[in-house]
Amino acid sequence: MGKILSDLGIYWTNFIAQVLIFLIVYGILKKFAFGPIQAILEERRKRIEGAEADREKVKAQLADSEAAAEARIAEANETSARLIAEAKVSAAAFGDKERAKASQEAQDIVTKATEATKVERDKQLASLKSEFGKLVISATGKVTGKVLSNDDQDRINKETATQLAN
């Protein structure tokens, strides 16, 4: 066996020395390179998991905000429908002259209710856009890990408003 190994150029003394050098180099790398790299990778993994959790929270908040806005719009529509129905019943109770006057008043109420609904809807949409912009800025700041400047925040708000308008 010794002759075969020596024919191949393998000498026990050199082999043992190489194994010892390998183990020493491995030990040094493990202490000074592998450990810190593993710590950095673990920190990065935790940061990414945190960002994913924050993203899910933002999605949930956005869904809640949209649901609340839809509920408010539906409530405003119900109120306007009720007002219209009440105006029609009221108009039917008057005589010919009063009926024409009441009809005009009902039409005014319908117009005002429609305008009020539109104004309320516009307010809700503006509020939703603003809140969505804040959530996007917050999420962007958390995901990127940096504090956004006022210019960055304004740019993100404008882009978000543009996309929501489409």
Of 87, 81, 90, 92, nearest to 108 (Cα)? 87
Are 94 and 101 in contact by the 8 Å Cβ rule? The answer is yes
Contacts of 90 (CB under 8 A, 6+ apart): 102, 106
- How is residue 161 written in tokens? 């408003």
Domain that holds residue 29: 2-165
Range with the poorest average pLDDT among 2-6, 71-75, 84-88:
2-6
Count of domains forming the chain? 1
Given this model, what pLDDT does residue 36 score? 86
pLDDT at 3: 76
Average pLDDT over residues 114-136: 81
Predicted structure pTM score: 0.36
Of residues 36 and 141, which shows the higher confidence score? Answer: 36
Which tokens is 130 given? 């603003």
Q: Does the structure show a pLDDT above 70 at 102? A: yes
